[in-house]
């Protein structure tokens, strides 16, 4: 059984840890935070459900004690300032880059063989930053956004079709941003039937538009970033890695020629197994989808350039 560390005991981190407990694929979870008492309290609260939910995994909360994270198989990074209403993910880059660099460096000292899953926003640049600043092989640094965006896409599809979300298959690629994600409506299906034949163009366009502002919609309602779906998405991805399930998930990975792009981390379908990102799946995109992906990639690269402009990364 595996050891998983979740750095950041806020809403997303705690929800992720709780989801892993319920999925029962880890033997040990370490929940780490900088605020004294928060991770310890949340870990204790979760452990007090062990009898009720019948799980054997142990979760330990610690305050800035990276020694406790030693020999983790996967490290999940949720640390950083959450989005506030009206704030874009990109506006977070200056603050969160320093936080992510620090926690990744500390975690890597004690778990040199770990696979890193990045949730911190803005997720695409933070994944790129982690890869470039650590020098880790590209298969061991993965960003979570694509699966979350796809889950939201499937939710809106199921609502529009009035069917079970489990019976809908939709995927979102591109950047994890309100203007950079690409819900592939022409490839979405319900029971092997393309949804565009089941929805009016107006309804299909609304599903795409609602998906693209799915995170912002929740931020406006909640006053902060969402946490249930992000936490669950991360837990599912880690399960595929730990259990070597080799499932295909849309996630943020490093491209080196795939989709005609190089030197950026962006959302595409990838096979996740016990070595991390084991294979990138190249979809057959139509001309419009190719243009949208190229536009998304350019926007993500522009955001990455901020890391160089701010001297966080050296050219």
pLDDT tens track for 118-137: 999 899 999 999 999 999 99
Cα 33 from Cα 128, distance rounded (Å) = 23
CA–CA dist 197, 217 (Å, integer): 27
Mean pLDDT of 3-26: 97
- Angle 145-18-127 (CA atoms, 0-180°, nearest 5)? 25
Quick one: average pLDDT of 165-176? 97
Mean pLDDT score of the chain: 95
Nearest in space to 210 (alpha carbons), one of 147, 288, 154, 292: 154
**Side-chain-facing half-sphere of 6: CA atoms under 13 Å:** 32
DSSP H helical ranges for 135-286: 145-161, 201-212, 214-222, 228-242
Whether residue 87 is predicted with pLDDT greater than 80 in this model: the reply is: no
Q: What's the chain's Rg over C-alpha atoms?
A: 19
Of 56, 11, 45, 24, the closest CA to residue 239 belongs to: 24
- Let me know if domain 2-145 sits in CATH 1.10.357.10: no
What's the mean pLDDT in 23-45? 98
Question: Of the candidates 270, 269, 265, 276, which has an alpha carbon nearest to the alpha carbon of residue 301?
Answer: 265
Distance from C-alpha of 74 to C-alpha of 113, rounded to nearest angstrom: 9
* Cβ atoms of residues 44 and 18 within 8 Å: no
* Token pair recorded at residue 186: 């022409």
Helix, strand, or coil (residue 190): strand
pTM of the model: 0.95
Q: What DSSP line would sit under 8-53, residue for residue?
A: --SHHHHHHHHHHHHHT-EEEEEEEESSTTHHHHHHHHHHTTHHHH
Strand partners, 6: 31, 76
What is the reported pLDDT for 93? 84
Q: How far is CA 22 from CA 49, 50, 153, in A?
A: 10, 9, 24
Residue 84: the pLDDT is: 67
Burial letters 77-97, b for 16+ CB under 10 A, else e: bbbbbbbeeeeebbebbeebb
- Note the pLDDT of residue 89: 57
SS3 state at 76? strand
Query: Which residues carry out catalysis?
Result: 176
Local confidence band at 310 (pLDDT 50, 70, 90 cut-offs): confident
Determine phi and psi for 2, rounding to 5 degrees: -110, 160
Q: Is the pLDDT of residue 193 over 70?
A: yes
């Amino acid at each position: 059984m595996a050891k998983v560390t979740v750095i950041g005991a806020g809403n997303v981190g705690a929800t992720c840890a709780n989801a892993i407990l319920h999925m029962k694929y880890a033997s040990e979870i370490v929940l780490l935070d900088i605020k004294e008492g928060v991770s310890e309290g949340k870990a204790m609260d979760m452990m007090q459900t062990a009898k009720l939910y019948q799980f054997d995994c142990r979760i330990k909360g610690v305050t800035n004690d990276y020694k406790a994270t030693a020999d983790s198989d996967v490290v999940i990074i949720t640390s950083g300032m959450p989005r506030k209403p009206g704030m874009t993910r990109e506006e977070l880059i200056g603050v969160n880059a320093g936080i992510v660099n620090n926690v990744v460096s500390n975690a890597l000292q004690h778990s040199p063989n770990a696979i890193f899953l990045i949730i911190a926003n803005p997720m695409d640049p933070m994944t790129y930053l982690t890869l470039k600043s650590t020098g880790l092989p590209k298969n061991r640094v993965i960003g979570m956004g694509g699966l979350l965006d796809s889950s939201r896409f499937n939710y809106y599809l199921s609502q529009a079709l009035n069917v079970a979300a489990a019976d809908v298959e939709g995927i979102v690629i591109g950047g994890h941003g309100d203007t950079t994600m690409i819900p592939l409506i022409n490839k979405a299906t319900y029971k092997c039937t393309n949804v565009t034949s089941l929805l009016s163009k107006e309804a299909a366009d609304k599903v795409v538009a609602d998906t693209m502002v799915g995170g912002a919609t929740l931020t406006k309602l909640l006053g902060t970033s969402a946490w249930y779906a992000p936490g669950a998405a991360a837990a599912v991805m880690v399960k595929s890695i730990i259990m070597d399930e080799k499932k295909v998930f849309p996630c943020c990975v490093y491209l080196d020629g795939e989709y005609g792009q190089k030197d950026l981390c962006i959302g595409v379908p990838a096979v996740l197994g016990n070595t991390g990102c084991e294979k990138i799946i190249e979809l057959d995109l139509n001309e419009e989808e190719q243009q949208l992906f190229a536009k998304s990639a350019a926007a993500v690269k522009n955001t990455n350039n901020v890391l160089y402009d701010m001297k966080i990364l050296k050219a």
